[in-house]
């Protein structure tokens, strides 16, 4: 308890899954927390569940909305100690099924939006502070139907490394957190209709330890990266994946 006492934390995509559980864990560790999501109704429900948390309706793939989010936060908080760019589009499709609109939507959410969110947050980020981007073990493996998704995660993890080199003189640490297959609502949004169950089983079979991860396991890893315990961790990609990426 208290590992994040006095820290101000922003979590995008905080209305479900890993983001929501991370908000719970951050609050339990003493942080002041703000979350974003697309659904106003869902955000209000979460606010009532979590209590003392700021909620903002925001599309993580919309650059203007990311800029406005930071402006709004600047008016309410003195600084930002933790930024967890967690919101993501998990669409998986065969190569033949991709079209430009779906590609743009996924890349905007998974890469362009987080890039400009971090840029906008620079004046608010404290020295020291921790930026965490949500990667995926998919960036390291060749899972069928994950082409665009995996490429977006490879891009955001590369960004974490390069921004680490650029921003560490300002006291800003940037790291990636890469979940393996995790039991969250997003898992049900991977495919298209009848192929969903087949794809889920294929993903589950990838995990050497024989089970999916939990949102709590991912959130605990985020707490570590957000806390001062990881002060010597810079530019890394923390795999929390049941061995998928290494075994």
Give catalytic residue positions: 149
**90 closest CA partner among 214, 194, 181, 211:** 181
CA atoms within 13 A on the CB side of 202: 13
Element (H, E) at 22: helix 17-28
Compute the distance between CA of residue 216 and CA of residue 130 in angstroms, rounded to an integer: 20
**33 closest CA partner among 189, 176, 223, 197:** 223
Burial class (CB in 10 A: 0-12, 13-18, 19+), 105: middle
Within the chain, strands assigned E span 8-11, 32-37, 53-57, 80-85, 125-134, 172-179, 237-240
Compute the distance between CA of residue 171 and CA of residue 219 in angstroms, rounded to an integer: 23
Question: Measured between alpha carbons, how far is residue 154 from residues 8, 21, 43, 140 in Å?
Answer: 28, 24, 29, 8
């Amino acid at each position: 308890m208290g590992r994040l006492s006095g820290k101000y934390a922003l979590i995008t995509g905080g209305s479900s899954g890993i983001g929501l559980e991370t908000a719970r864990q951050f609050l339990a560790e003493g942080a002041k927390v703000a979350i974003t999501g697309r659904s106003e109704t869902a955000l209000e429900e979460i606010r009532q569940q979590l209590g003392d948390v700021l909620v903002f309706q925001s599309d993580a793939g919309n650059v203007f909305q990311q800029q406005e989010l930071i402006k709004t936060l600047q008016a309410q908080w003195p600084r930002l100690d933790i930024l967890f760019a967690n919101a993501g589009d998990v669409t998986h499709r065969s190569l033949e099924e991709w079209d430009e609109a779906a590609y743009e939507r996924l890349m905007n959410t998974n890469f362009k939006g987080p890039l400009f969110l971090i840029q906008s947050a620079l004046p608010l980020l404290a020295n020291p502070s921790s930026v965490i981007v949500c990667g995926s073990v998919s960036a390291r493996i060749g899972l069928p139907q994950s082409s665009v998704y995996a490429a977006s995660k490879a891009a955001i993890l590369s960004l974490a490394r390069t921004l680490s080199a650029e921003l560490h003189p300002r006291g800003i640490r940037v790291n990636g957190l890469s979940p393996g297959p995790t039991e969250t609502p997003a898992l049900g949004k991977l495919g298209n209709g009848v192929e969903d169950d087949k794809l889920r089983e294929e993903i589950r079979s990838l995990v050497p330890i024989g089970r999916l991860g939990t949102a709590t396991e991912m959130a605990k890893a985020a707490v570590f990266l957000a806390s001062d315990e990881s002060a010597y961790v810079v530019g890394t990609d923390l795999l929390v994946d049941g061995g998928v990426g290494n075994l």
